[in-house]
Structure 1
C-alpha cells in the first residue's frame, strides 16, 4: 500500500495509533508522523487516557480484592500510568519545574530542561505531586472501591485531554523540533472544545450510578483540572515562548493531580 501524502486526511486508525504510540508505552506503531495524523492523534488523546486509567484502576481494584489496604492500592494505581508512559510525563513535569524555577531567560531555561539530570525544583515537584496523587487516591478508595476506580479513570482521561487543549491552534512551539513542535497548533479550537465537553459529559455519566453529588464532582474535577492546566500552559508560553514535550508532560501530571484531589473530596 502506498504511503499517504503528507497533506492527506488522517483516518481514525491513524489518530489512535498516533495517540497510543506517542502518549503511552503500549506496543503501537505510529503509521504516520505528519500534521493531519498529529491532529487526529491529539483529538484521540483522551481515548489513550481511558485505556491507561482503566488499567490503573484494574490493578488497584485487584489489590483491594486480594486484601490490600487503600494506601497500597493507591500506590499501585499511581504507578501504572507512570509505567505506561515510561515516566515521560513525570520527567516532563520535573524538567518544566526546573525550567520555570530557574528564573532564567527562555533560551537558558529551555537548555536546563533538556539536561538529563533533575534539579531541586524538579525533585521537590515530583515528590509533592506523587504524594498528592497517592493521598487523594487512598482517600477515594477509602470511600469505596468504585469511587477510587472512577477517580483513577477520570484523572487519566483528563490528563490527556489537557494535551488536546494544549495542542490547539494559536499555541506555538518553543522549539522547532521535538514532540511539542510536531503537535503544537494542530487541533482546531472548536475540536478541542468539543473534546472537553464530551469528556465532561462522559465523566458525569460514569459517576451518575454513585449519586448526583458524584456526577457533579466528576464534572467539577474535569473543569478545574483543565483550568489549572490552562494556567500552567499560559505561564509556560510566556516564559518559554511556546510549548515543548516537557511542558506537555507537566500539563498532563498537573491536570491528573488536580482531578484526583477534587475526586477525593467528600
Structure 2
C-alpha cells in the first residue's frame, strides 16, 4: 500500500484496512528518503555531465514527480484551489474534487516547484554529496509530515477517500520510528561534512513547521485531512526543507 500510494511502482495489494494503512503511512518517510536520494543523484549526475546546476536540478525534480505520478503535486494544487475559493468546507471540498486546476493551484505549483528546483540547484553547486543528502532529507521530511498528519488527533474531512482510510491510523511507536528514520537520514549528511548534516536537520525542522501550519489551516478550514491535504503537506514540506537546507549550507 505504501508503494502504491507514494510511488509509481505497480503493486498488488492483497489487504487494505486501517491497520495496513497505519503501517503504510509509517513507510512514507523511508520511501521519501529513497526517492529524494534518487532525485539528488540525478541532479548531481546531470551537473557532472556538463548541464547547468539549475537544469540538472530541474531534471531531478521532474523525475521525482514522475516517480510519484504527480499525485502529491495534484493534491497541492487542489488544496490551494480549495482554500483559495473562499467557500465553506463543503464547497471547498467540492472544488478539490474537480479534475481541473484553477489559478490558485497553478501559482502554487509554479512557486513550490520553482523553489525545489532552485534550492536543489544551489545544493548541486555546493557538491554532489550535498545534493543527494539534501534531497534525501527533504523528501523524507516532507513525507514524515504525512505520517504525523495521520496520528489520532487529526480527523478526516470526509467519510470516504484516502483521508478517511488513513486518518488516525499511525500510533505513537510508528510515528516515533518515522521521526528516527528521518533524523538518521539527516545525520547521514555528516559523511560529507558536519555542516551538511546540520543543514539537512534545519531543513527537516522547517519542513515540519511549514507542514504543521498548513495542516492546522486545512483542519480548521475543511474539518480534517484528505488525500489532497496529505499530498500538499509532502510537497510543501519538501520544498521548505530544500530551501532552508540550501540557505544553511551556503553559510559554511
1:39 corresponds to: 22
1:111 is aligned to: 94
TM-superposed deviation, 1:116 = 1.1
Equivalent in the alignment of 2:77: 94
Equivalent residues of 2:28, 2:144 under 8 A apart: yes
Q: Deviations over 1:122-147 (max 9, x none)?
A: 11101111111111011111111111
Unaligned runs of 5+ in 1: 1-17
SS in 1 for 2:16: coil
Match of 2:211 among 229, 241, 259: 229
| Distance (whole Å) between structure 2 residues aligned to residue 62 and residue 244 of structure 1 | 36
Task: Give the 4+ runs in structure 1 shifted more than 6 A.
Answer: none
2:191 to 209, 226, 235: 209
| Counterparts of residues 17-28 of structure 1 (less than 5 Å) | 18-28=1-11
* Alignment correspondent of 1:165: 148
Contact 2:41 2:128 in 1 (8 A): no
Say whether 1:124 aligns with 2:107.
yes
Q: Tell me, what secondary structure is at the counterpart of 1:31?
A: coil
Contact 1:169 1:189 in 2 (8 A): no
Distance 1:137 1:21 in 2: 26
Which deviates the most, 58-67 or 165-174?
58-67
After superposition, the C-alpha distances for 1:25-81 in whole angstroms (9 at most, x for unaligned) are 112222321011111111111121122112212322321232212111100111111
Whole-angstrom distance in 2 between the partners of 1:202 and 1:52: 12
RMSD: 1.3
Would you say the 8 A contact 1:56–1:77 is kept in 2? yes
Q: 1:190 deviation in Å?
A: 4.3
SS at match of 1:32: coil
Partner of 1:9: none
Aligned to 1:83: 66
Asked if the contact 1:200/1:218 (under 8 Å) is kept, the reply is no
Number of residue equivalences: 248
Aligned to 1:11: none
- Stretch deviating more after TM superposition (207-216 or 95-104): 207-216
Relative to the length of structure 2, the TM-score reads 0.94
TM-score, structure 1 normalization: 0.89
Deviations 1:217-261 (A, max 9, x none): 211111110111011111100000000010011000011001100
1-structure distance, mates of 2:171, 2:11: 25
Q: Contact (CA 8 Å) 1:77, 1:152: kept in 2 or not?
A: no
Query: 2:30–2:182: 8 Å Cα contact kept in structure 1?
Result: no
1:201/1:219 contact within 8 Å kept: no
Alignment of 1:50-69 (within 5 A): 50-69=33-52
